[in-house]
Amino acid sequence: MCAISGMINLPAPPKTVRQMLETMHRRGPDDRGVYREKGCTLLHGRLAIIDPEGGRQPMTLAWAGEEYTLVYNGELYNTEQLRYELSALGHSFLGHSDTEVLLHAYAQFGAACVEKLNGIFAFAMWEKNRGRLFLARDRIGVKPLFYKKHDGGLLFASEIKTILTYPTVRAELDENDAAQLILLGPGRLPGSGVFRGISELEPGCCGYFADGELRLCRYWKLMDREHRDSFDETVEKVRFLVTDAIRRQMVSDVPVGTFLSGGLDSSIITAVCAGEMAKKGERLKTFSVDYQNNDRYFQANRFQPNSDGSFIRLMTDVLQTDHHWTILGADELAQTLEEATVARDLPGMADVDFSLLAFCREIRQEVKVALSGECADEFFGGYPWYRDPEVRAREGFPWAQNTADRAAILTPAITLDPAEFVMDAYNQTCRESDILPGTADQERRMKQMVNLNFRWFMQTLLDRKDRMSMYHSLEVRVPFCDYRIAEYLYGVPWEFKDYQGQEKGLLRRAVEGLLPEAVLHRKKSPYPKTFDPRYEQLMESRLQTVLDDPAAPLWQIVSAEEVRKLLHRETQWPWYGQLMRRPQTIAYLCQIDFWLRHYSVELVF
């Protein structure tokens, strides 16, 4: 994995190049590269995983009368198949990196190359003679790519902070952007970078910048199709797709480990990886996180019915992994608030971010690549809101059923209608869901739910995983984001996914024999969080400090009087998802205040 950025038809003085490269160092600490040509400057910071010597970037190729230069962040999992196909067409290779294969694939197939890629990626390709830039992002949106049309040119980067470093770019927020922070946050509108004028290339999109114009298109989306496989055939197909994705994503020239929570998804990945490494006589490194005093304060609830410890120990005992625990305290979590906000460039998921950032720091001491279980719930229907008929039938984003509570804290300066703002975004996503004519009502709703989760909630989780891990130069791969799984599962009927009335019943059936029974049938439990009351006290104290400052920038967006009430009440619904209750909501508001200060954000409404 790496960091990429570039300036097209814009001045790129040496000082600006140095400053932009410095913002990319955490994502790419192993090497730096710069390409300069008339009208184009490309920058690259490398985290070397495959072919450390042969995969340096920017990488240039002369082919068929054109000169192509690539900067690329990602990993391809079908590199050898593509290399074989390209070799048959007359291409030859100097090394074994996926970067070189991608460069040749684009030279051969042009923009259509993206349809041949199985992987996670964001890349930019400069065509020197044509004087145009091609941008592309993977189908699922695992790897980020932001851009800004600026002074007739284009800026792009893996992270927003790199774009903000450009001297004439200002950190600004308009009314819609401010509304996103409160009414949708930590989610954001598809394609929005929140900062005014900064956009994100959406998953499954690509396009060209030429002659001052950026023309984008969507090359992939979730498409409905008639499901003709029997249940048993579906089980076999799912088992193949999942295990094949995991094995493909183990490719690396550096040590690989896995996140392990003792839940279904991470345990499947760990079991497959441990089996593959055992064939080579090696032990898999596994990693888990817990919190000081959770043994005293853990409280089971509908979202977290049990703690992880006993299930993790069962898995590590059965698989004989080289296991590593990270134990975090309340003070450490609170102290990570600022760092996590800077890592994301936006207010995030409070201590759900803070803990992952600290956890990834410890994992990076042992391995450079780790596989993680995100995104099975979106495609297999594992979240509570898939299964609760009342929530499922309710209009609005199911992970944020609290628009009225959010709207209550807005300042009068934000004059848009909160309910209309949220529902417009919700309804647009529902309308965009591809569903075959004649689909039954329940099946139609379940496909809408999948698309809502894919376009919104899952993107927030992928943002979190990418930024928190890459801040510590740790490459995290997510096998359940293999686009083949997404495509296939979108067409699978809900009655199959809900096999035996159990969450992710189809997936559980598909991996029978791979896991201990206790883990195979464990009820879903999300990423662990602290239950230590000290953390809540620390966040309350921090928010009180903000409340004591009438000039705090937070009060440009929300009402201090209404926020003060948050210190003394719990709302019916979490602020966001399953984990963001009152302490996390308080922390989120503290993140917004810090973010406004740190980035010197100017409100322009």
Which are the catalytic amino acids?
2
8 Å CB contact between 400 and 184: yes
- How many residues in total does the chain contain? 605
**Phi, psi (degrees; rounded to nearest 5) at 137:** -135, 150
Tally DSSP H helices, then E strands, for the chain.
26, 19
Handedness of CA 569, 571, 572, 573 (dihedral sign): negative
Quick one: tokens of 397?
A: 């984003």
Residue tagged 């300069």 (tokens): 36
How far apart are the C-alpha atoms of 550 and 62, rounded to whole Å?
60
Tokens for 135? Answer: 């941008």
Cα separation, 84 vs 269, whole angstroms: 28
Would you give the distance in Å from CA 94 to the centre of its chain? Answer: 33
Structure tokens at 485: 């799984």
SS3 of 481-507: the string is HCHHHHHHHHHCCHHHHCHHHCCCHHH
**What residue type is assigned to position 137 of the chain?**
R
Task: Convert 444-464 to b/e letters by CB count within 10 Å (16 or more is b).
Answer: bbbbbbbbbbbbbbbbbbbbb
Identify any residues that bridge with 132 across adjacent strands, giving them in sequence order. 127
Helices (H), 381-482: 384-387, 389-393, 403-408, 418-432, 441-452, 458-470
Calpha distance 30→51 (Å, rounded): 12
* Secondary structure (DSSP) of 283-309: PPEEEEEEETTHHHH----SS--S-SH
Please tell me what DSSP assigns to residue 250.
T
Query: Cα–Cα distance between 528 and 238 in angstroms, integer?
Result: 27
Alpha helices in 200-293 (DSSP H): 231-248, 264-279
